[in-house]
Structure 1
């Protein structure tokens, strides 16, 4: 086995039983293999091995009491992955399936995503196996307070800045921030995703979804296309999905499908502004299944989770925005058969490895999440800047900054494609290489820590 090939096998052997983490590491390794081969210093100083090993992994007990006075015990986490580019930065996920493999894959992906923004951000990820669904506001508050009672020791605006993710929205961020502020007796930008009245940034809720569609527009422009009149699918129905649909409507695209954990909707007439407002109320206020959307609008049909999924609907563009590994090889083949021209990832690693290989073989345009969904962390980074300055910036300025950052990521990908003689429009390898080289150079400059 060559020195290069040993790198990946050693990482997998050191982290047994972590399939999501192995998948994320393998994907990046495949992209940077030629870079390692041509730069012996990266191999000798074990740069990739260091990137794949978290600087710190924190696991702790979280005890909380429900409304019936029953005690529950959950597990809290924070993976502080890489601080070469800046303080650890990344979201918190509250979901019953959360485990170390998922956290490490998310934190590893975050390293490259944050580097691509050009902002001084390191990478981290955290959360808990707590399930906020069907919990009262008081129960969620007590859990968040208990989580922060331990986690506050490890975070701060120059150390580690968490944000939201699946199961952690503005409400949860409020409870977490309020607890941190009380413990520390300081009002600091130690958490992003705050409400705009108490230290948050305008456009933060919209940023990931909006940024995704901006990036998709830049890719389509490379083949002289736009989103206007394109038939689109957006998996999920949460924050990222809702605002991706909103931006698609602004760009005059037609959204005919979306989903949640219970199934998916096919709306042949397309989602309009009235329907989108209803969906937001259904999911954000009532917290109900999207089946209610089909009951409200005759043009829509609800399909329960089963043998078919949202990717069976013919479309021009697909935006997987739900969770990891939600699109497999057969989905890609069916989408391609139905005329798909673009897949842009709003979620983290939503395509399985065989699905990615099928996309590359097919010639369908592909925007990897490291580049396409970086809008959220970009605006979070700007929220940190505003907190340090003690100022709020206007919506117009934030829109402009978001577009500039997403455009910068796209241009960096194009530059990397040209520099490394990659196949035209190979955004996957370009994003991985560009992110790796930025972090690697920072790590080498700071010594072998």
Structure 2
């Protein structure tokens, strides 16, 4: 590569010199001197450097670092002055001398490239007696020779050491190019990785949004949410809000359920406590050993409990609501219920003639209906018929309700209520909404 670089450089750099030599050889001396202007010579030099750099695959600066550029600039400064002076001297003196160019071209008889420096030196020798004419030509010839030597040195540098240095520069440049390509590739890979991560994050978010569970969106990560599209972020926000509302509702339901369970446990505890107390009361009541305060435990007054024990119930004890049974529904309540029924049978004449029976009286007394005296049953039947007729005739709501309760008691005790109770039942059906 070194030989090719030097030759390529020399061809371009020597181009203006060869052209100038050709002009002088062809008796066009002024044109040849003009071709030796520093601008043209430097242009050829720069073209040679550029071609060498292109051939080596490096920058022009890499080639120039191998060359004595200070000497090049110095040579250009010398030529800048000597070329102008030589051209001026030629224009002033050449017209007075005849046959000046004879023998100038004789130096090129062997196929060598025209040497402008030698031609100028021969011209200077021909007119050496005319110093104002010869000296500028000789100075220009010397400067051209110096420029040719500089070019030769540059070629030698390229031939001898330029190959390795330029090869290293080329390798460095290639490495930089490869590094640039690698960095660009890494940037592209990173960009693709970002795109892939964004798409994957959005796909995961879309999958969570598609799930029927409202709170499934809680599974979205902050990183994925940061990569979500704005429309997805709005949907996620709406789903999170719905999830919060759902969780609040579930929390309320859970709290209500826990409260209901607590109430149920408390109610169960109270029932069990009441069962224990009522069972104990039933035992003590049967033994006649109950005391003050036991009525409250049984859910009745102490006076009623005492009347039950004494079997002296009053008309108020059987209605119009109730009657109230001690420890009704609790363990031990059956024994107290039986005691209440015993008291009803024993004190039948205190309530049958005038009592307004409660709705539960027939239920309590039905198992003991056979023990009722026939006269008491007859009295209940008569009262039922009479009360029903009067209620139907009067239409008074209170009387109708009283008559209905008497009819219900008669039915529970298997006592015939007669047509009046049937008519009362029909009337109640018509009045029902």
| TM-score scaled by length of structure 1 | 0.19
TM-score, with normalisation over the residues of structure 2? 0.20
Larger radius of gyration: 2
Q: Which structure is richer in relative contact order (CA contacts within 8 A, separation 6 or more)?
A: 1
